[in-house]
Structure 1
């Protein structure tokens, strides 16, 4: 009670354990592992308080279902239970179906404890069941419009745009003892099963599903080097099928398989579905996969937002535009407009599962999602290298509306984008919490996408182009078994590219480890800049695992640069004869034709 009167809700601990003394390690420091165990024991032995009243009961049932828990107590926190923004969005939709019309996503962020959040809304009469998406089989092969993101990909690949001339392209290589005949059979079964694997675009940017296509063959390439040269930065013609490619090169260790997709037809989640099903069919071509009754076309044409909700969202973003921070002003070596054909390079590291689990546990204790922690750390590094206090991140979202039981098996580009400002606080936790609050308020008005916001920014600034060229993509919480490729081969290399993007930070989990990848246009930056930024990001994540998030993030001058400054600024030693400019004139007399500066 004392703390509740003086601290915000997220800072009040759910349990308090009194100790005679704090546990210490052998060298006299606080034993954080022992403290963590004590907190866990206290939480497990805490008195269980079942939900009370209709609002808490409805909410507890939805949380238990979404979070896959047997039961939820009224004192449980959404974040501590493992909730994230995707589950929160689904929760709001479920509440509305149960007759809760005034539930707000932003209030969940402010009051994450079940009893507190339930107190913010009222339960009315249950709404009529939302109509299930009805497949339009008769017009399945008629042209249909792209989503806003698909249209941006289609337009952005034009060479007259800055950093254009490329598609939104995903490329990866796998190594293993791969049976290419079995692979081809499985791949063609998926082409028959998934309509967007037969998609093309016309000259007006409309997409169409071809009723029939020729058999797809995995082409043979002479060497691994040739494979990478041909495929890593290829630009697929979206007017011609297929909008994917697969080629293979044999080498002493087996087969190197290169796979590329144009993301205009499949998003990251769709590729996970593709690789998972490819794996099943490769091992057993007779596998009967669950049917898919609806198509991506059905989904796109059914997305008609409520006019009132859409106008409210537009008003929200219109009011936010003046205070939206600028894009990161990273130190560029060349003007992006001078880059003829951008080539991306990848940097990556893996944080071991135990270390990553420490960060996720701390995040939940601070009422943050793990994705927010990683995005805020990214924003901190960007801010240091950009020399700016606040900046806007371009966030990739994977939010499929639950309009049909089969929708999560459908391949397509369901991607949406969200702009969110990152503003450092006096302590690192302040900035992270501010970012999460901004993201959740943006999600609450998600009927308007970042594409619309950027168009409006361009209109207001009388600019031909308005881009937010630094992107953060998280697959945390959406990755499945096939997230990083099939089981019959090991992923060994990859790179992605996106028009108008300078840097794309991608985070996800593989075998419990945290996997971080940066794909960036190398030509834009001086040698060493991206390496130093990436090392700083890895170092910041290591610091986050240690624990005191109340202080400022230790993102300082890279050690190598600090050593150089220390050396060149050293003043010890004998002073030279003469004055500072004397040596300059000496060189001028000796070599008058030499470039001075």
Structure 2
């Protein structure tokens, strides 16, 4: 891949995932919404003028912070853009700030962005600053957001910092990186064969037909593993030749299966898929994501270790055929088995191990700290489980469509998930997975199943 500076500002195609996001926002579609990620940070005595200067340096440095989607459904890097000013308001206390952030988030849903972000500083007490940043992740994936936050801290802490100018752009990557015909044919053959036995998405209880939800409104459930617990989890994974992400995915899938009648299920896994095609590839921003369908088949006769090994093998095989994404698989399933058969609205997103060694030098002390709060929204998604490291521990969050699930179900599922996670850390891995579904929930589920709705047709 070479930097095409001559055509840098010419329109270029959306990626497969970006196009799915763009189409999913259409006002007429059920479960439509934007593609936004809210990050919340807290700090003390932050100089907002200095922060504004640092942010505008970032916008100038990273093309995807001044890239738009055109009316022709292409993306285009803007050669010129307005200087961004960080808005600010004053509040009495953190509780008031939290309420104001939630109101601001809702207001931004109807705003037309000239740039793919929005920032507001909610100042409180005498010298505290609570910064809320909304990113459009049609422009920036998880790694890109981490990179932007790292460089924001660097530019703020060192106002005279001069980073080498980037020549590579996301446009260069999209227009020049393609899989070989042989690789595509091999992957297509695999997925066509796999589709015959690929389980459906989890048939979770719902209280309303998803087709009746015109616009998704998401809520978040969160928990955090402290440093010691996360370290114990990593040691368990290492001792069994597993990854922490696989263990978390297993717990997530098992809970989803138990609340879906114990069925085999398929979830959509977010894949951050930058190919190392240029020395600057890990220094630029963009949406490099793809999606892969990952199947999970619960088996009460298998030990916890065997279940984890089977899931890791399933994941490895899917990764070995990543040239064809979940979007293609869903489209083919809908064509062959009916439109509702192609939907995989339950998502798993892990940022663990995403080139973390490249992001460790940021001078965060004395600057804004991630709070662990925030929210994401994705069109046609029911539930997205995200995990990322925070202050040496692990933040676990579920972003879910609030109006879709029966009252109390999300809390119960999330509590079961945390309970199972704690048991996994302490349990003998040669024993089978325990059943977590409460008796009362089993009875409720039988009642709700009578109105369980078909899955939405797009993701």
TM-score by length of 2: 0.89
Aligned position for 2:436: 556
Mapped partners of 1:273, 1:279: distance in 2: 10
Aligned position for 2:221: 347
- How far off its partner does 1:275 sit? 0.3
Q: Is 1:542 the equivalent of 2:438? A: no
| Aligned partners of 2:139 and 2:286 also within 8 Å | yes
Mapped partners of 2:90, 2:391: distance in 1: 33
Matches within 5 A, 1:98-247: 133-164=1-32, 166-177=33-44, 178-221=46-89, 223=91, 224=97, 225-232=99-106, 234-235=108-109, 240-247=113-120
CA RMSD across the alignment: 2.3
Which of the numbers 375, 380, 390 marks the counterpart of 2:254? 380
Q: Is 1:428 the equivalent of 2:428? A: no
Alignment gaps of 5+ in structure 1? 1-132, 566-597
Mapped partners of 1:398, 1:157: distance in 2: 22
Alignment gaps of 5+ in structure 2? 92-96, 445-459
Matches within 5 A, 1:446-525: 446-463=322-339, 466-478=342-354, 479=356, 480-481=359-360, 488-492=367-371, 493-525=373-405
Structure (1 or 2) with the greater strand fraction: 2
| Aligned partners of 1:507 and 1:516 also within 8 Å | yes
> Could you give the per-residue CA deviations for residues 267-291 of structure 1, whole angstroms, max 9, x where no partner exists?
0100000000000111122101233
Matched residue of 2:132: which SS? strand
| Aligned partners of 1:275 and 1:482 also within 8 Å | no
| Aligned partners of 1:148 and 1:451 also within 8 Å | yes
Q: Is 1:528 the equivalent of 2:408? A: yes
Looking at both structures, which has the greater relative contact order when contacts are Cα pairs under 8 Å and sequence separation is at least 6? 2
Matches within 5 A, 1:204-353: 204-221=72-89, 223=91, 224=97, 225-232=99-106, 234-235=108-109, 240-252=113-125, 254-353=128-227
Mapped partners of 1:412, 1:454: distance in 2: 24
Matched residue of 1:408: which SS? coil
Distance 1:361 1:513, change over 3 A: same
> Could you give the per-residue CA deviations for residues 551-597 of structure 1, whole angstroms, max 9, x where no partner exists?
221232349869x99xxxxxxxxxxxxxxxxxxxxxxxxxxxxxxxx
> Could you give the per-residue CA deviations for residues 68-127 of structure 1, whole angstroms, max 9, x where no partner exists?
xxxxxxxxxxxxxxxxxxxxxxxxxxxxxxxxxxxxxxxxxxxxxxxxxxxxxxxxxxxx
Mapped partners of 2:4, 2:57: distance in 1: 22
> Could you give the per-residue CA deviations for residues 292-319 of structure 1, whole angstroms, max 9, x where no partner exists?
2200000011122111111111111011
- How far off its partner does 1:465 sit? 8.2
Mapped partners of 2:244, 2:253: distance in 1: 14
Mapped partners of 1:156, 1:456: distance in 2: 18
| Aligned partners of 1:221 and 1:227 also within 8 Å | no
> Could you give the per-residue CA deviations for residues 419-446 of structure 1, whole angstroms, max 9, x where no partner exists?
0100123222222222111111111111
Mapped partners of 1:289, 1:420: distance in 2: 40
| Aligned partners of 1:174 and 1:491 also within 8 Å | yes
Aligned position for 1:404: 278
> Could you give the per-residue CA deviations for residues 338-360 of structure 1, whole angstroms, max 9, x where no partner exists?
12221111111111222222222
Mapped partners of 2:403, 2:298: distance in 1: 29
Distance 1:352 1:487, change over 3 A: same
> Could you give the per-residue CA deviations for residues 180-229 of structure 1, whole angstroms, max 9, x where no partner exists?
11111001001111101110011221000000101011123465333421
Distance 1:455 1:140, change over 3 A: same
| Aligned partners of 2:5 and 2:167 also within 8 Å | no
